[in-house]
Amino acid sequence: MALNKLSIDKLNLAGKRVFMRVDFNVPLKEGKITNNQRIVAALESIKYALEKGAKSVVLCSHLGRPDGSKILKFTMAPVAEELKTLLKREVTFLPDCVGPDVEKA
C-alpha cells in the first residue's frame, strides 16, 4: 500500500490555523534547555507557515514521559520561551491541551 504524503509546500495556508506536531522533547537541567537543536530543526516549517499567511500555528509536543499526569518538571514553558527568542516574535503558551483557556486561544 502506497502512502502519499502531502508536504507543507503543497498546501494553501493563508488564513488557516495550522496544527503541527513537533519533537520538542529537549534535554533540561534545572528548568533550562541544555540543547535546543530539536527546536531549531522545526523553525523552517514554522516560519514557512507564518510567511504563507497562516492565521496561527498550533504546535503540539511533549517533554519527558509524564505518563498522563501533570508533572511540573515536564512543563513546555521553557520551550515556549526558547521558541519566542528564536522566532523573534510573540509565542502564546498554554499549559494544557484542553479546556476553556485553550478554546479562547
What mean pLDDT is predicted for residues 15-25? 96
Residue 33 lies in a domain: yes
Residue 83 burial by Cβ neighbours in a 10 Å radius (0-12, 13-18, 19+): buried
Lowest-confidence segment of 20-29, 57-66, 83-92 by average pLDDT: 57-66
CATH of the domain at 88: 3.40.50.1260
Q: What is the pLDDT of residue 64?
A: 73
Per-residue pLDDT at 59 exceeds 80: yes
Predicted local distance difference test score (pLDDT) of residue 66: 67
Q: How confident is the model at residue 1 (pLDDT cuts 50, 70, 90)?
A: low
Host domain of residue 63: 14-93
In whole angstroms, give the CA distance from residue 105 to residue 34.
29
Total domains, the chain = 1
- The verdict on residue 8 lying in a domain is no
Q: What is the pLDDT of residue 103?
A: 78
Q: Cell 504546535 belongs to which residue?
A: 59
Assess if residue 35 is contained within a domain.
yes
Q: Does some domain include residue 83?
A: yes
pTM: 0.84
Q: Is 96 left (phi over 0), alpha (psi -120 to 50) or beta?
A: beta
Report yes or no: 93 and 61 within 8 Å, Cβ to Cβ. Answer: no
Is residue 63 domain-resident? yes
Answer whether residue 9 is part of any domain: no
- Evaluate whether residue 64 is within a structural domain: yes
